[in-house]
Amino acid sequence: GPKIRIGILIFFALGVIIPGCQTDPPSPAPIIETVVVTQEIPRETVIVPVTITPPPSPLPDPSPIPDNELIICMGQEPESLYLYNGGADISAASSVLQAIYDGPIDHLSYGVQPVILEKIPTLADGDAIFQEVEVAVGDPIVDIGGKSHHTEIGCFHFPFRLFN
């Protein structure tokens, strides 16, 4: 019951308080004795032979220039490197595509950085505009899902906004 709990609590409290109140007896201060030695040690004369270092040997001919390699560590291999694939693995392919095509914009740290542009174009500054285009039968289009198609009779496509 509650009396047993209180008794156990008091027992543990005393077990912590009593050893904490004890002090250690002071330890005697160590006695340091300084000893001065007055003895001279004769110096020895050491003769070090001098050896002449031979001149360095000529460097070997450089190996041929290795092929250019680019190693990209990824979680998965992309299904395709087609620029307009629009498949589910677009994030896997985007790392490789950014290395191959140093385009006008790089996607870094969840943002965009201009590479060969002076700044990111915006509608507010007038750097970008909307322009209507006519699409004829057989023209290639990219749908809102990122997949490429060729227009056919009866094919519906809807314009969408690229920028907010």
Residue 102: inside a domain, yes or no? yes
Q: Are residues 130 and 153 both part of a single domain?
A: yes
Q: Where are the beta strands (DSSP E) in the chain?
A: 105-108, 111-114, 140-142, 148-150
- The CA–CA distances, whole Å, from 33 to 36, 59, 156 equal 10, 63, 102
Q: Is the predicted pLDDT of residue 96 greater than 60, yes or no?
A: yes
Q: pLDDT tens across 28-70, in order? A: 777 777 777 777 777 788 787 777 888 888 877 777 777 777 7
Query: What is the maximum span of the chain, computed from C-alpha positions, in angstroms?
Result: 113
- The CA–CA distances, whole Å, from 161 to 104, 125, 158, 164 equal 20, 17, 10, 7
Q: Are residues 84 and 106 both part of a single domain?
A: yes
Residue 104: inside a domain, yes or no? yes
Q: Where are the beta strands (DSSP E) in 47-147?
A: 105-108, 111-114, 140-142
Residue 39: inside a domain, yes or no? no
Q: What is the pLDDT of residue 124?
A: 92
Q: pLDDT tens across 126-161, in order? A: 988 888 878 788 888 877 677 788 888 776 666 655
Residue 85: inside a domain, yes or no? yes
Higher pLDDT, 119 or 110: 119
The range of the structural domain enclosing residue 141 comes to: 121-164
Q: Domains in the chain: how many in total? A: 2
Q: Are residues 83 and 103 both part of a single domain?
A: yes
Q: Are residues 84 and 111 both part of a single domain?
A: yes
User: 85 exposed, middle or buried (CB, 10 Å; 0-12, 13-18, 19+)?
Assistant: middle
Q: Are residues 129 and 110 both part of a single domain?
A: no
Rounded Cα distance, 84 and 146, in Å: 6
Q: What is the pLDDT of residue 64?
A: 74
47: which 2 tokens?
């003769």
**Stretch 84-105: mean pLDDT, rounded?**
73
Q: Is the predicted pLDDT of residue 101 greater than 80, yes or no?
A: no
Q: pLDDT tens across 80-90, in order? A: 887 776 655 66
Residue 101: inside a domain, yes or no? yes
Q: Are residues 111 and 137 both part of a single domain?
A: no
- Closest by Cα among 140, 145, 135, 146 to 83: 146
Residue 161: inside a domain, yes or no? yes
Q: What is the pLDDT of residue 162?
A: 47
